[in-house]
Chain A
Amino acid sequence: MISFAFYLAFLLIFVVFAVYAERKTAAFIQNRLGPMEVGPKGILQTVADLLKMLQKEDIRASAVDIIPYLLAPFIVFAAVFTGFAVLPVNADLSGSTITSGVFFLLAIVSLDVLGILMAGWASNNKYSLYGAMRSVAQIISYEVPLGLSVLCVIIISGTLDLHQMSVLQSGGILSWYIISHPVLIIPFFIFFISGLAESNRTPFDLPESESELIGGYHTEYSGFRWGIFMLSEYGMMLLLSILASILFFGGWNSPMEKIANGPIWSTFWLLSKSLLLIFVQMWVRWTLPRLRVDQLMSLSWKYLTPISIVMLFVCALWKLWLIG
């Protein structure tokens, strides 16, 4: 319960500064300065934007299907945020202790498709519906390699509980799974790519591609409800980054075995690992162009899924012969 509250507070603060970081990253990669006016170096720009967004009128087109239209953002956010329930914060705060931890996470997060579909359909707008359909096709496709790459880690660790998994990786940087079991390097990349697709980030932002679909499934949303969609997108980024740092990079364990292990330090390690991964996500976003729909599907079904199945097999052999 405490970890849930921690993540709720952290997510809200994180989103404000992640949007700022996103803009700055974009600006620096493109030889620009980014926001500079509000606050020192523009750090309060997102706060100002947030205040503006909260005051905006809640515009509803007259032809929308009103109940699903109003519910959709909250379903998306609830689905994403429920995933945080099983994430541990540090050695003492373990999150929800359900035995099917990471499986539950993947299951509940896949429900955000429902909200996206609801938003796209209820908006009664062809761009929204296009975006929603693309999003559903994309998320369902990329759930397969995502699940399979998580499964590779589960084979190695022998547990579904994320807290347990972090405990198993304690003891310095050498016992992190990606170092101690190099066979997991390829699953990590598959996980990362599928995670980008799951959170609708560039280069997989076809569902909301603003240049062709005017924002996709959230075209008709404005103000606070649109903000909820953004919140869920960034929440999804954070969720998958934290998950990746738990699965592959030792979770809340310090890179040094005996140093910096207190509860605050371990929270720091977990969050800094995931924030580093979020930086990589932003870096990818401002480097790679958007995929076409057919490229998207062929990447998932022709490349990532077969490779992750092979890696699943390799991980099973690794577990059988090398760990025993």
Chain B
Amino acid sequence: MIITVQIFLLMMVLAGVGIILFTRNIVHAAYALCLTLLGIAGVYVLVMSELLAVVQIMLYAGGVVILLAFGVMMTNRLRGEKVLSGSNNKWIGRIISVGVFAGLCYLISISPFQTTSVEKNEDQIAQIGVSFLTDHIVAFELIAFVLLVALVGAAYLAKNAADE
């Protein structure tokens, strides 16, 4: 059962990545990105990190990708042309991506990740909540502050556009 799910998630992630790499249609790429992110959310569930999976779905798949797709549609489609991405600097791009990939592989191989299976933690959400408000209170408040600034900034920009 679990191996089936693993294979399925692997296919999901790889299919998404493959489409992003080989399609020239940006909107398709955005949807493929969503597929990949959902696959990764599934991987989080498999490693007993349920809350992270849900956050991944909510923020990345549900939020970021939608804004991305929205942005792509709103910008280039006005003239009725298909939104295609060009491919420039192919060799430099290949070298950089192979380098980044190799670097990441090396970092992952030397990192002390936990490889044994973990017990499902029923109190996970409560623990994360408590640690947000105790150990990581500064980071938590900073994020809240940044979001507030973004909100006020967005409202200000929208107001100016409306006045003109």
Contacts and interface: CB of A to CB of B under 8 A. Distances in A.
The answer to whether A and B touch in the complex, with CB atoms under 8 Å apart, is yes
Contacts of A110: 58, 62-63
B65 A114 contact: yes
A114 B66 contact: yes
B98 interface: no
Given A68-B31, A117-B66, A136-B66, A111 B50 contact: no
Contacts of B28: 67-68
Contact of A99 (B62, B70, B74, B124): B124
Determine the interface band of chain B, counting residues with CB < 8 A from chain A: 20 to 34
Q: Which of B58, B61, B74, B125 has the most CB of A within 10 A?
A: B58
B132 to A, nearest CB: 15
A107 B54 contact: yes
Nearest to A110: B62
B34 A114 contact: yes
A99 B66 contact: no
Nearest to A79: B62
B54 A104 contact: yes
Interface string A87-123: 0000000000011100110111011011001100100
B135 interface: no
B66 A107 contact: no
B125 A140 contact: no
Nearest to A297: B158
Given A68-B28, A121-B73, A111 B57 contact: yes
Contact of B31 (A108, A113, A114, A140): A114
Given A68-B27, A99-B122, A99-B124, A117 B69 contact: yes
Contacts of B50: 98-100, 104
Contacts of A140: 63, 66
A160 interface: yes
Mostly, the A contact residues are helix
A85 interface: no
Interface in B37-60: 50-51, 54-55, 57-58
A121 B58 CA distance: 22
Nearest to B124: A99
Contacts of A160: 125
Interface in B64-116: 65-66, 69-70, 73-74, 77
B47 to A, nearest CB: 14
Nearest to B65: A114
A117 B28 CA distance: 12
A108 B62 CA distance: 8
A119 to B, nearest CB: 12
A146 interface: no
A81 B74 CA distance: 29
A133 interface: yes
Interface in B117-134: 122, 124-125
Contacts of B57: 104, 107-108, 111
A231 interface: no
Interface in A53-98: 65, 67-68, 98
Contacts of B65: 114
B6 to A, nearest CB: 19
A111 B124 CA distance: 24
A236 interface: no
A68 B72 CA distance: 15
A264 to B, nearest CB: 30
A111 B61 contact: yes
A114 B27 CA distance: 12
B61 A114 contact: yes
Contacts of B25: 65
A247 interface: no
A237 interface: no
A39 B77 CA distance: 49
B48 to A, nearest CB: 11
Contacts of B62: 107, 110-111, 113-114
Nearest to A124: B80
Contacts of A121: 27, 69, 73
A99 B125 contact: yes
Contacts of B74: 133
29 contacts: A65-B25, A65-B27, A67-B28, A68-B27, A98-B50, A99-B122, A99-B124, A100-B125, A103-B54, A104-B50, A104-B54, A104-B57, A107-B54, A107-B57, A110-B58, A111-B61, A111-B62, A113-B62, A114-B65, A114-B69, A117-B69, A121-B27, A121-B69, A121-B73, A129-B73, A129-B77, A136-B66, A140-B66, A160-B125
